[in-house]
Chains A and B, each alone.
Chain A
Amino acid sequence: MKILVAVKRVVDYNVKVRVKSDNTGVDTANVKMSMNPFDEIAIEEAVRLKEKGIASEIIAVSCGVAQCQETLRTAMAIGADRAVLIESNEELQPLAVAKLLKALVDKEQPGLILLGKQAIDDDCNQTGQMLAALADLPQVAFASKVEIADGKATVAREIDGGLETLSVTLPAVVTADLRLNEPRYVTLPNIMKAKKKPMEIVKPEDLGIDVSPRIKTLKVNEPPKRSAGVKVADVATLVAKLKTEAKVI
């Protein structure tokens, strides 16, 4: 079984982003970029399925600028066998990415498609579900445990208040939540090996996909600031302030 894993290049999660002074967006020049953390979990899960003998080949795919090649090399250092970059300098919104991935699913016919549940830049949490819709496949979003057997995936997913378990026929789309696994550290030998793994580069036009954005960003602002309050000396003062000043208890 082939597994297709989608990965996104995003501003590193440790970077404190700044809104541009002209309010057109967030400043991403000279900022450290990394693989979206949830996508790293998705790649790790695919590699574990290969190590268990369930998957035969892992294909990592990324949609975006030429520098996404670095993200794909990281995916291959974790254990993906080959990579596809769908290269575009346009702003790619989740619907467009889902359409590009759908074209690749048609071509590669994977048994399982794994994605992170959400990218930490636009915080959309849409692409996996959209891909499942376009490809007419069952979906399990926010997975915390995946088991594959007899042409089906049994997946536990995070829901409000607990966990839910679904069984879906394969092929299916699964999006990774935080607790699915803990991604391994990439080792230097694996980084070297990843440099030799094959990477294909295609354009959205080659796949016949219109990627024009459906949502216009009119402006981007700083959120309203919350100012620091006061430090209190002890528990008794805290309780008194909450009772008489804030009146919340």
Chain B
Amino acid sequence: MTTLVIAEHDNASLKPATLNTVTAAAQCGGDVHVLVAGHNAAAAAAAAAHIAGVSKVLHIESETLAHGVAENLSAQVVAMASSYSHILFPATAAGKNVAPRVAAKLDVGQLSDVTKVLSPDTFERPIYAGNAIATVQSTDAIKVLTVRTTGFDAAGQGGNAAIDTLAAVATPGTTTYLGSEIAKNDRPELTAAKVIVSGGRALASNEQFMAIMTPLADKLGAALGASRAAVDAGYAPNDWQVGQTGKIVAPQLYIAVGISGAIQHLAGMKDSKVIVAINKDPEAPIFSVADYGLEADLFTAVPELTAAL
């Protein structure tokens, strides 16, 4: 029994979500192999070899794998799948894109957003935006999972796995990568941040969102998040969205500013260690999950908080 983890990387380095996925893989029992499929990705492969608990790294080089295009990456995974009992992806935008394609090619079901490994074939996963937790058992020979990173600790360093270089299998070439716009900032990634400050619709405009929230985030070295309502209204970019349809986060400290606390938002942040809510509506549902609630007008309270830190 061996588990294959599909590393998420930008060729130069591994994304932290890979480390949590390795921990989930170790809990499935058996050896853990990591696939690093990319272009000029030797550095990412070397980093994978240093993860504690990894016994082998498989490195595939091809220009077609430079950007993780689903068709091309899934073809590599499918080609090696028969050697594995489990194939695990992080439940990130990238992993969720590719895992179902692999599962369907193998004619097996797929389990999304696994938060707990109970046995090699039985897992827990949230449904209905986290309002219910299902215990599910896979009846397929190969289990294909995406792993919710907040459910598992990051694997440590100190491994010394062998790196096997494999040839890429041919891909259909029907998808062409044209480019990407990655917002540049010095902030930590939302899903890996220790502190997150998150804004809601009460910020009332993009200008106010940035003017009020950015100084607080700077002070705390925090990542910036937003509710779906704020994203829908155009106050914050889509990839800041925390919730069922956005990112699932579990930082040490989550500060919700002007967020009422819709079910779908709570689903994305209620596993945070300490939750602070600042809202002027005393009935806001966010207060029912907050460790510390401050009933106040955010336009005065947040600058005051920023100044006090």
B-binding residues in A (CB < 8 A):
11, 13, 16-17, 19, 26, 38, 93-95, 98, 118, 120-134, 136-142, 144, 154, 158-169, 172, 177-179, 213-223, 226, 228-232, 234-236, 238-239, 241-242, 246, 248-249
Contact = CB atoms under 8 A, between A and B. Distances in A.
Interface in B242-290: 244-245, 247, 252-253, 263-264, 270, 273-276, 287-290
Interface residues of B, number: 90
A161 B253 contact: no
B239 A235 contact: no
Contact of A215 (B111, B126, B172): B111
A214 B70 contact: no
A226 to B, nearest CB: 5
A130 B238 contact: no
Contacts of A132: 70, 101
State the majority secondary structure of interface residues on A: mixed
Nearest to B122: A218
B64 interface: no
Given A154-B178, A230-B293, A239-B308, A178 B128 contact: no
Nearest to B96: A125
A159 B180 contact: yes
14 contacts: A94-B100, A98-B104, A120-B244, A128-B100, A130-B103, A139-B70, A159-B94, A159-B180, A164-B181, A165-B180, A167-B176, A168-B174, A215-B109, A232-B293
Given A229-B292, A231-B287, A221 B70 contact: no
Interface stretch (B24-32, B45-53, B131-139, B154-162): B131-139
A246 B292 contact: yes
- Give the 9 A-B CB pairs with smallest separation, nearest first: A214-B109, A229-B291, A129-B100, A130-B104, A133-B104, A126-B100, A162-B182, A164-B180, A248-B253
B69 interface: yes
B69 A93 contact: no
A215 B137 contact: yes
A242 B93 contact: no
Contacts of B252: 248
Contacts of B67: 164
Contacts of B104: 95, 98, 129-131, 133-134
B150 interface: no
A164 B127 contact: no
Interface of B: 67, 69-71, 74, 92-94, 96-105, 107-113, 122, 126-140, 172, 174-183, 189, 191, 195, 220, 228, 231-232, 237-239, 241, 244-245, 247, 252-253, 263-264, 270, 273-276, 287-296, 301, 304-305, 308-309
A241 B111 contact: no
Contact of B138 (A134, A164, A214, A229): A214
Given A17-B132, A228-B290, A160 B232 contact: no
Contacts of B109: 93-95, 213-215
Contact of B181 (A140, A163, A169): A163
Given A142-B97, A248-B273, A163 B180 contact: yes
A11 B92 CA distance: 25
B300 to A, nearest CB: 9
Contacts of B107: 95
Contacts of A179: 231, 238
B112, B175, B273, B288 — which one has the most chain A CB atoms within 10 A of its CB? B175
A3 to B, nearest CB: 18
B74 A123 contact: no
A11 B264 CA distance: 14
A136 B137 contact: no
A134 B104 CA distance: 6
A121 B127 contact: yes
B127 A26 contact: yes
B50 to A, nearest CB: 23
Nearest to A99: B104
Contacts of A140: 175
A136 B172 contact: yes
A221 B133 CA distance: 5
Nearest to A140: B175
A11, A179, A215 — which one has the most chain B CB atoms within 10 A of its CB? A215
Contacts of A161: 182-183, 189, 239
A166 B127 contact: no
B256 to A, nearest CB: 13
B110 A94 contact: yes
A241 B128 contact: no
Given A125-B112, A158-B239, A248-B195, A168 B175 contact: yes
Contacts of B276: 238, 242
A223 B174 contact: no
